[in-house]
Amino acid sequence: MQRVTLSIFLLLSSITLSVNASPIDSDRLAPPSQLACELLTAPHKTVIFDPRPDFSWACDSRENAYSQTAYQIVVQQVSTEDIGRSRIMWDSGKVNSPLSASVEFSGRPLEPNGQYEWQVRVWDGQDQESSWSEKQRFRMASNLSLAKTSKYEVEKIEQTAESIKRLDGDRLLIDFGRAAFGCLKLRLPAEQQPRDLIVHFGEKKSGGLIDRKPGGTIRYYVIRTEVPAGTTELVVRPPRDKRNTTGQAIRLPDSIGIIAPFRYVEVEGIASDLEADDIIRVAVQYPFDNSASFFESSDPTLNAIWDLCKYSIEATTFCGIYVDGDRERIPYEADAYINQLSHYGVDREYALGRFTHEYLLENPTWPTEWKQHSVLMAWEDFMHTGDRESLKQHYKKLKDEKLLLAAELPSGLVDTSSDEYRDIVDWPAGERDEYEMRGVNTVVNAFHYATLCRMAKIASALDFQQDAKLFDQKAKTLKDRINEALWDSSRLAYVDGLGSQHCSLHANLFPLAFGIVPKNRIADAVHFVKSRGMRCSVYASQYLLEGLFEHDQDPYAISLLTSREERSWYNMLGSGSTITLEAWDQKFKSNLDWNHAWGAAPANLIPRYLVGVRPKKPGFERIVIQPRPGSLDSFSSRVPSIRGPIEVDYQNSTNGCNLKIVIPSNCSADVGLPMRDREQQIVVLCEGNSVSFQVMGKHAWIKSIGPGIHEFSVSRSPELAQTFNSTLPSNKDIESSNVQQNQ
């Protein structure tokens, strides 16, 4: 077989572009779609605060995908007095640019309360012009401000019962299938006399009825209400809970009223039969596009866990900001970070994460590491949207208040033993694997390294090059000090802190996740982490699994995802909850609630690491597709991005694997094809033609794949081994590339 090496040009030119017919002009490209103003795809539902809003769009996809080379945006004022007349506020003209995310308005000043509409057209690499997009309308706020982020209001959704069962006499048991935050609406036959109803709300069932004593903060309420004569519709609300409606708790608007999470309802006092349409749960949540993401694999347990975690992200947005759960309804940085990543993994929604992040910058919580998460949130916001605006607005606060620069010792390590800091490591405290708290805390120092690395990138993105160099040097120094002072060479693991003799899971999982472990110690660190299992909380599991996936331990990582031990998502499913729990089980946290998004880490771990889709350049201009399927036979997935959905289908085979990917327009990808064994001799086919590749770790990499549909296969081919192995990089090159990829 003849060896074929494709250049990027030849690879892109091998894609056949077919042009969609346009109702305006059949010779034009299809119009851009998925328009967004200030990250919102339906900006008419809210108001825009930014006086210079940003616009984004997606171009045609799949077999019609292409790389945009120019765009033109027109923004017009909508006249309410003289329909048909409008004033052009901005006509960008033809702008030679591939930019399609976060394009800033640059026209006449937009007026408070003004109503406007915008549309866009684009050109491809052959200077072929698209039709104009549909117009998208938006309204400016009465008080314009760069400091405010626009988002939607929460909405009410009427949901019918999944099942209705008559228990005896006048008692009904209603099951809505899944828990949601809301209240109950009943449609009743009118009666001449007043009557009493007793309504029970609950999240948990026991012995065929709602559990009256579920324990923890698992919800159960009973309401006694009088139904006036002639009543045909009745709204029944759970009682107000002082704990989550006072103090720092997020208040719901009066238009929403009092709500609580429940799945089951028992009603006493209804003798007549009711249909499903007569029993309505009025659920409250932030707008959610269920079609934006998809995942299904050959493992039914993994599929059930994905469904649980995806729905958890949808259901827990009821406050219009990420909160910790129903017990407190307070935003916390660590909760919000996992929620943010998971929301990115299941929906093309970025405004709520940014709004929550900026709220927490002004309303920080108490744990040392929680505040450090603000830097991580800022960076992920930028990488997923490509928008520097929030970074610019909050750079000083991130630098001055979220880095632990004041706690640095001359060595570069940070000491948080003063009363100013309250290290947490993990929560609840019993999930710390007997961690020994020290002033120089290994987990806190690992987070400091992670924040320094990201602050160096943030400073560089904002062209603060002096700061970027400073943070980068501090990160390198800190990494060296951690490895000198906190590694126990006799036990081949990191100790919990300076002076500690104890090696916990946490002291090792965080350095592994953040890329602190040097190459010659990775095998030992991985061995230690695997020896401890899941001796951590649902929060720390985010980083435990990140570290395992990052170091190609996907068979073990997936075994933890699908584990049936007590500390597992399977155990959450077995508990009867349909939203992720605050802890693995009530035995680990006696006051846990059944509606905590920080327990939904698989909603981001699956798309980011198992499917392997991550932004490599801000705004998904360039992406990584690096599946780590472990022993799965197959999976199919759709991952949302600001440029459009990314699809990855994986199929294991006796001789290798097959991979089909869909890359959106205006995007390129570095694709890492999974290899069963780094030492195996393989051939890689792209669109049926053999191509050159580079082996890095357990993946065969093909770089700079253009937009469109691509099919790859990896198979053993001993007769081609000599030819292909001669093109592979040296071991030194491979190791260097691995370090860069992991960081």
CATH of the domain at 132: 2.60.40.10
Q: 220 with 211: CB under 8 angstroms?
A: yes
Last residue in a domain, options 87, 113, 139: 139
Domain membership of residue 574 (yes or no) is no
Last residue in a domain, options 270, 285, 300: 285
Mean pLDDT over residues 317-321, rounded? Answer: 98
Q: 139 with 44: CB under 8 angstroms?
A: yes
User: Rounded CA gap, 498 and 404, in Å?
Assistant: 17
Mean pLDDT over residues 213-242, rounded? Answer: 95
Q: For the chain, how far is it from start to end, CA to CA, in angstroms?
A: 38
Q: State percent of the chain over pLDDT 90.
A: 85
- What does DSSP assign to residue 116? E
Q: Is 607 helix (H, G, I), strand (E, B) or coil?
A: helix
135 and 168 co-located in one domain: no
26 has a pLDDT exceeding 90: no
15 has a pLDDT exceeding 50: no
User: Rounded CA gap, 544 and 563, in Å?
Assistant: 14
21 and 168 co-located in one domain: no
∠ CA 584-590-594, rounded to 5°: 55
Per-residue pLDDT reduced to its tens digit, 88-132: 999 999 999 999 999 999 999 999 999 999 999 999 999 999 999
CATH of the domain at 701: 2.60.420.10
pLDDT range class, residue 655, cuts 50, 70, 90: confident
Per-residue model confidence (pLDDT) at position 84 = 57
- What does DSSP assign to residue 609? I
Q: Looking at the 3D structure of the chain, how many domains does it have? A: 4
1 has a pLDDT exceeding 70: no
Domain membership of residue 408 (yes or no) is yes
274 and 370 co-located in one domain: no
Q: Which of 211-215, 529-533, 620-624, 736-740 has the lowest mean pLDDT?
A: 736-740
Per-residue model confidence (pLDDT) at position 551 = 97
- Which two tokens mark 45? 């539902």
Domain membership of residue 167 (yes or no) is yes
379 and 427 co-located in one domain: yes
CATH of the domain at 439: 1.50.10.10
Q: Is 175 helix (H, G, I), strand (E, B) or coil?
A: strand
Per-residue pLDDT reduced to its tens digit, 461-470: 999 999 999 9
Domain membership of residue 117 (yes or no) is yes
- What does DSSP assign to residue 474? H
Cβ neighbors of 675 (< 8 A, separation 6 or more) are: 682, 695, 698, 699, 700, 714
- Which two tokens mark 328? 């407190």
CATH of the domain at 247: 2.60.120.260
Per-residue model confidence (pLDDT) at position 83 = 53
509 and 366 co-located in one domain: yes
527 has a pLDDT exceeding 80: yes
pLDDT range class, residue 271, cuts 50, 70, 90: confident
Q: Which structural domain, as residue segments, surrounds residue 36?
A: 8-139
Which stretches of 398-486 are DSSP H helices?
442-461, 465-485
Per-residue pLDDT reduced to its tens digit, 157-204: 999 999 999 998 899 999 999 999 999 999 999 888 999 999 999 999
172 and 264 co-located in one domain: yes
Q: 347 with 640: CB under 8 angstroms?
A: yes
Mean pLDDT over residues 339-364, rounded? Answer: 98
Residue 40 backbone phi and psi in degrees, to 5: -105, 125
What average pLDDT does the chain have? 91
Of the two residues 271 and 362, the one the predictor is more confident about is: 362
Per-residue model confidence (pLDDT) at position 2 = 34
Mean pLDDT over residues 244-272, rounded? Answer: 95
Per-residue pLDDT reduced to its tens digit, 228-241: 999 999 999 999 99
75 and 221 co-located in one domain: no
Domain membership of residue 297 (yes or no) is no
Per-residue model confidence (pLDDT) at position 725 = 39
Phi-psi region of 89 (alpha: psi -120 to 50; beta: other; left: phi over 0): alpha
404 and 265 co-located in one domain: no
Cβ neighbors of 380 (< 8 A, separation 6 or more) are: 337, 340, 341, 344, 353
190 and 134 co-located in one domain: no
641 and 687 co-located in one domain: yes
Taken in order 593, 598, 604, 609, is the CA torsion positive or negative? Answer: negative
80 and 185 co-located in one domain: no
- What does DSSP assign to residue 670? E
335 and 471 co-located in one domain: yes
pLDDT range class, residue 735, cuts 50, 70, 90: very low
Domain membership of residue 659 (yes or no) is yes
Domain membership of residue 292 (yes or no) is no
Per-residue pLDDT reduced to its tens digit, 604-618: 999 999 999 999 999
Domain membership of residue 232 (yes or no) is yes
11 has a pLDDT exceeding 50: no
